Chains A and B, each alone.
Chain A
Amino acid sequence: MPFAVGGDPLLPVDVAEVVAADLKRSGRFAPLPRQDMLSRPSETAQVNFRDWRLVNVESLVIGRVNRTGAGYTVQFQLFDVFRGVQLAGYSVRSDADGLRRAAHQIADIIYETLTGEPGAFNTRIAYVTVAQLADGSRRYALEVSDADGYDPKAVVNSKQPLMSPSWAADGNRLAYVTFENKRSQIYLQNLVTGQRELLTSFAGINGAPAWSPNGRELALTLSKDGNPEIYVMDIASKQLRRVTENLGIDTEPAWAPDGRTIYFTSDRGGSTQIYRVAATGGRPERVTFEGSYNARATVSADGKSLALINRDNSGDHIAVLTLQSGALKVLTDGRFDESPSFAPNGRMIIYATRTANRRGVLAAVSVDGGVQQRFSAREGDAREPVWSPMRQ
């Protein structure tokens, strides 16, 4: 259901609209359109629960936005309409640019109060964009935006490909791959200071960086010893530990949240499948069995499921594998769906897909496959989205 808002035109952000869009995108809420509301209370005394029971609303949020100094204070209350009681009430302060973020924080509180699970609206995504220039060259950028796609900012620009962003657990740093020196290299970049550090520049592939859950190590793919293998690098000492040893392709490492297991893509068995191995090395074990091609796994925050690319006759789709049962559920029906990334609360997956005219766009789907939403880059194609950890 759409959610209509008649906000104050003087406010830069329609807070109610942002909160409603967040909740709706989660697939677990159906905000009431504003024109269907029988009243518009903003204070407890104005609330008539009968107005809301009549339109079958279970929960009601009312709120007020006040300017305070250079910023704002947003007060809101959440009510259980049928019991007629308040479930939550908070005052959220924001600076002049922070009203949208305040709205995401409010959506998180409402979500957690009503579902018992943490929300993931006040988070960010990183992704790569590619624009074709008039002279035939390409411009690549690594961008960071709010989780709903708003407020994008380029943190790296290059005329050569940028790839494979990975968030540090603190949400302040990204690892990524560049080709700006005509070879693949892995950089680490601090998003707060803008400073970056060249981490690896070995002969051959320097790819697929994946920050370990404790933030001290990076799993990566290197082919310096002949063919692509998974390694783990201690970031402070730069010391490398080789994890796989096989003549096939081993790449796309993904950490389990306990930091003890690494999932990866390999064609060692003939077809391309997901395997897992102890992060200290050892004998890998095959994890996927359905379909001729499974790749680019990522692990949910609870460690119980993988999101991955699964191929069938109609193309590459996003699927979720429940590790304990081995059940594979295909969530999307595009031909070129790729790069799945879980929201930090595990309820949604963001991924890259294509429009009918081949434009690369980002899409989010709830893990039960219910709700889908797309958003595109400011210009060109968007790809390789990765969802940030929870803000700390």
Chain B
Amino acid sequence: MNKWLKVGLVLIPVVLMSACGSTGAKKAAPVTGGSTPPADTANTSPLDNNGGAGITPLPQTGGSASQSVDPLNDPASPLAKRVIYFEYDSNNIRAEDRATIEAHAQYLAQRGNLKVTLEGHADERGSREYNIALGERRSNAVKEVMSLLGVPAGQVASVSYGEERPAVLGDDESAWRMNRRVEIVYAGQ
């Protein structure tokens, strides 16, 4: 039913001018290059530098003799875990991740000046904008738990990258389960 038309195509170039080499460099086509993003995050400076006076705030108050380390930087602290993983097409927080979220919520609730961004991600299956929505569902699920635990909304931002920033490249479940995630990112870190 789809008739194939046979076409014989002959185009004989007849160059009239005696050509001197090629026709020269290509000039810019209608599509312009140019537009560079104004604020590419990779090029901006970090927000949380401690001023310019060289004054370092003491991390502790009161008379404790022991040197306290910020638990955020303690690899043994539950705060060291910053990634929450999810099942396929799900935003349910698994029981084993509750303690991690609680630890972060507690830490944040005690430090009103600290801010985190919850970055939601999805695996590569499905359409890209749907996965943006799915990633947002996940970051909102984590945000909701934090909110129930007393973290003010102003301390928690969320952004969904969908499938655009995979943690692991691969096209099977071993990669996908590492990509269905929410990353807890502290400002300035």
Contact = CB atoms under 8 A, between A and B. Distances in A.
B130 A265 contact: yes
A341 interface: no
Give the interface size bracket for A toward B: 35 or more
A221 B127 contact: no
B17 A67 contact: yes
B95 to A, nearest CB: 25
A144 B151 CA distance: 45
A249 B35 CA distance: 32
A12 B33 contact: no
B32 interface: yes
B65 interface: no
Interface string B1-16: 0111111111111111
B183 interface: no
B113 to A, nearest CB: 19
Contact of B7 (A110, A153, A164, A193): A110
A42 B169 contact: no
Contact of A249 (B13, B40, B124, B137): B137
B26 interface: yes
Interface in A180-211: 180-184, 189, 191-196, 204-205, 207-208
Contact of B133 (A163, A191, A221): A221
A63 to B, nearest CB: 4
Contact of A161 (B4, B27, B161): B161
A105 interface: no
Contact of A194 (B14, B34, B158): B34
B37 interface: yes
A10 B7 contact: no
B30 interface: yes
Given A67-B16, A156-B37, A265-B130, A62 B10 contact: yes
Interface of A: 3, 5, 7-8, 10-12, 15-16, 19-20, 23, 27-32, 37, 40-42, 52, 55-68, 74, 76, 81, 96-97, 110, 114, 124, 137-138, 144, 151, 153-161, 163-164, 178-184, 189, 191-196, 204-205, 207-208, 221, 223, 227-228, 249, 251-252, 265, 272, 293, 295-296, 309, 311, 316, 335-336, 338-339, 354, 358, 368, 370, 383-384
